[in-house]
């Protein structure tokens, strides 16, 4: 069976780990791309941003990145220049980005992934911090 879900994942990110857990809780084993080790190329990054239907700036991560040091809040930067920065510093790519047959989304907060998962949740799921997301019947809490 071919994998129908891809997650651009950072295992050091709690939100990314929670999203991966929600995908697996739906019975799917996604194709996991640790994008800090294997960053997307320019065409893939452009395609992901286009598929999300979001401005390039909305995909930039500020916290824990060189965003401020690079002056990326300055409106002078074009979308192509911002993509250049993301390719040079993959940590600037906000995460996790999930691709499913139902759409592509930046899954922040982690529950956003539920809107694009083809299969329902199969049981209870709590975030790492203990916050319940899915009840025992597989419904959102």
- Kindly list the catalytic residues: 13
Q: Is 88 helix (H, G, I), strand (E, B) or coil?
A: helix
Tell whether the torsion through CA atoms of 104, 5, 128 and 121 is positive or negative: positive
CA atoms of 53 and 129, how far apart (whole Å): 30
Task: Kindly give the interhelix angle for 42-52 and 79-88, rounded to the nearest 10 degrees.
Answer: 120
Gap between the Cα atoms of 102 and 82, Å rounded: 27
């Amino acid at each position: 069976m071919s994998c129908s879900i891809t997650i651009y994942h950072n295992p050091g990110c709690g939100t990314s780990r929670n999203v991966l857990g929600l995908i697996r809780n739906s019975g799917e084993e996604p194709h996991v791309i640790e994008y800090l080790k294997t960053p997307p190329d320019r065409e893939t990054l452009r395609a992901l941003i286009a598929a999300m239907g979001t401005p390039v700036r909305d995909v930039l991560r500020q916290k824990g990145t060189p965003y401020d040091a690079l002056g990326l809040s300055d409106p002078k930067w074009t979308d192509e220049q911002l993509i250049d920065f993301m390719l040079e510093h993959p940590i600037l790519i906000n995460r996790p980005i999930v691709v499913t047959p139902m759409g592509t989304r930046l899954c922040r907060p982690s529950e956003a992934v539920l809107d694009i998962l083809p299969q329902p949740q199969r049981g209870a799921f709590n975030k790492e911090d203990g916050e319940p997301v899915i009840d025992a019947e597989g419904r959102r809490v």
